[in-house]
Amino acid sequence: MKRRLIAAGILAAGYLGTIVAANWAIARFGAVPVGFGLVAPAGVYFAGLALTLRDLLHEVAGRAAVVMAIVAGAALSFAVASPALALASAAAFGLSELADFAVYEPLRHRHWLGAVAASNVVGLVVDSCLFLWLAFGSLTFLPGQIVGKATMTVLAVLLLAGLRRVDRWRAAR
């Protein structure tokens, strides 16, 4: 129980930290290259990572903790960003995380990594469209946003798959 509580605290802090980092990166760096000749607001990588951290927090701490983290993350945006950016960030994080949550919840027991991947895809599309429209009044950066967040999703899923393999290998010994 104590280990689970510590893990939940670390994941919640990591999730909230990605929100702060995403807002900071946008304010500090503006748009950055994400590959394939595309650009996106610099917070794209942190926002992509937030989707996976949300799923991990769900596994460790449950639905109520996830909802509290989503609300705290949306509120935190107002503490670290300009009002316009904070509104766009809070609305996008809030709605995309709820969409991610809606996809993840029913799939998580059937195929966990598949649930993480599917929910992240839904979350990143909702987040990207809503954030870009609210923050910039345009979807010009949408291809770059999708590439940047999808890159983080792929890396996170590969890392989680590797960790699960190591755990299974250790258990089999």
CA distances from 8 to 35, 40, 46, 57, 89 (A): 33, 31, 19, 6, 23
Q: Which domains does the chain have, with CATH numbers?
A: 2-166 (1.10.1760)
- What's the confidence (pLDDT) of residue 54? 85
- What's the confidence (pLDDT) of residue 120? 86
- What's the confidence (pLDDT) of residue 160? 85
Ramachandran quadrant class, 65 (left: phi over 0; alpha: psi -120 to 50; beta: rest):
alpha
Of 77-81, 122-126, 158-162, least confident by mean pLDDT is 77-81
- What's the confidence (pLDDT) of residue 8? 94
Instruction: Tell me if the pTM is above 0.85.
Output: no
Over the stretch 60-102, which tens digit does the pLDDT of each residue have? 999 889 889 988 988 888 888 888 888 898 888 788 878 888 8
For residue 139, the tally of other CB atoms under 10 A from its CB is: 12
Residue 137, pLDDT > 90, answer yes
Which whole number is the average pLDDT over 17-34?
91
- What's the confidence (pLDDT) of residue 81? 84
Mean of the per-residue pLDDT values of the chain: 89
- What's the confidence (pLDDT) of residue 161? 85
Residue 12, pLDDT > 90, answer yes
State the residue for tokens 């919840």. 105
